[in-house]
Amino acid sequence: MTIAMNPVMRRLAAITALFHLLLVVQIPAANAAMVGTHEVIAEQQHKVDQEQLMAMLDDEQVKEKLVSMGVDRDQVESRIASLTPAELAQFNQQLDQAPAGAGVVGIIVLFLVIFIITDMLCATNIFNFVKCINR
């Protein structure tokens, strides 16, 4: 016994089947992988490095120097948050090698370099003498 479908129902069934097929095809397969110890350590080191730099911003000499240059603390914090793990590691290595009194000067020089680079990349406009290279 066969049941005859009218053309409207046949089209509706075909469209529904097509949408179902498109939805199933778009679902990505889940991938599970082991996370290595070195990856976890690198992520934690990145967080520690960021916290150390943020703590250095609380130093009175650093605050005074940043205010005298007209740089807002929020801008510095956002730049620190956007540094890559390699940049943070390099900076912390430079701080460890610097003499005790030169740490503050090193921090200020680093921030100036970061500001100049972001000005050159048109991400900010802090210094008027720095020309944007993307324009």
**Averaged pLDDT, 8-34:** 82
The mean-pLDDT minimum among 9-13, 24-28, 115-119 falls in: 24-28
**Averaged pLDDT, 87-109:** 68
Question: Which of 18-22, 63-67, 83-87 has the highest average model confidence (pLDDT)?
Answer: 18-22
Checking if the pLDDT of 69 tops 80, the result is no
SS (H, E, C) the chain: CCCCCCHHHHHHHHHHHHHHHHHHHHCCCCCCCCCCHHHHHHHHHHHHHHHHHHHHCCCHHHHHHHHHCCCCHHHHHHHHHHCCHHHHHHHHHHHHHCCCCHHHHHHHHHHHHHHHHHHHCCCCCCCCCCCCCCC
What confidence score (pLDDT) does residue 43 get? 81
